[in-house]
Amino acid sequence: MTPIQDKTIIERLNWRYATKKFDSQKKISEAHWATLAESLRLAPSSYGLQPWQFLIVQSSDLRDQLTPFTWNQTQVKDCSHYVVLTYKKKMDETYIQNFIAKNAEVRDIPASNLDDYKKLMIDNLVKGPRSETINWWAQRQCYIAMGFLMETAALLEIDTCPIEGLDPAAYDKILKIEDSEYATVAAVACGYRHADDKYQFAKKVRFDSASVVKFV
């Protein structure tokens, strides 16, 4: 693999900012979008269980409906791709069994080899104490995917805005997932910054490295 230069990564991370105003005329190419979508799919998750679905809202009518439930933030309407991250509300044995079957198929091993792994997940997430806070667990996994998406976008010089300023229950209703196994946690607007967005010129506000990264 060709190494990416450290300098390039730091430059791109400084270049990225939470974009407040997107240029609605600029769209992400299919090739770049395919890479962004892969960054979501390849994100790691606890046990590898991927308790998520990513909804790409392309309909302008749906985006109009979502805007008032997103603190009227203009990114919803103006970005190229609007990604709503949804998490799996409950972890159940059927889902885990499907995941085990997928493992066995991909790695070409008997599913029975994974019995201990399966039991570990069921005892922890379905029957164990963690089942009581499974929503939080699943939401945390979604934030990892969010980070992967934003970092990948930055490396491609594509802008993003992470969005938690939304009403998840209203989103679920508008996106018609209320009765599904998934629920909204957050969103990421992806596209290209508008030349007028003054925030692109604002300096980054971060605590010094020494106060947040400690060698112990």
Residues that bind ligand FMN (CB under 6 A): 17-18, 20, 73, 161-165, 186, 204
Rounded Cα–Cα distance for residues 16 and 19 (Å): 8
In Å, what is the CA distance from 73 to each residue of 56, 62, 190?
A: 17, 14, 14
For ligand FMN, the closer of residues 114 and 150 by Cβ is: 150
Nearest distance from C-beta of residue 204 to ligand FMN, angstroms: 5
Distance in Å, CB of 11 to ligand FMN, minimum? 14
Smallest gap, in angstroms, from Cβ of residue 14 to ligand FMN?
Answer: 9
> Between 183 and 186, whose beta carbon lies closer to ligand FMN?
186
Instruction: Kindly state the smallest distance separating residue 94's Cβ from ligand FMN, in Å.
Output: 31
Please identify the residue of the shown chain whose CB is closest to the bound ligand FMN.
165
Q: How far is CA 93 from CA 77, 96, 121, 139, 179, in A?
A: 39, 5, 9, 19, 19
**Is 50 or 75 the residue whose CB approaches ligand FMN more closely?**
75
Output the six-digit token pair for 143. Answer: 């934030």
CB 159 within 8 A of CB 19: yes
Q: Residue 33: which of 172, 192, 216, 185 has the closest Cα? A: 192
Choice between 124 and 135, CB closer to ligand FMN: 135
Phi and psi at 51, nearest 5°, equal -80, 60
CB of 54 to ligand FMN, least distance (A): 15
Min dist. Cβ of residue 44 to ligand FMN (A): 18
- Which residue number, 83 or 100, has a Cβ lying nearer to ligand FMN? 83
Return the amino acid letter for 104: A
> By C-beta, is 125 or 163 nearer to ligand FMN?
163
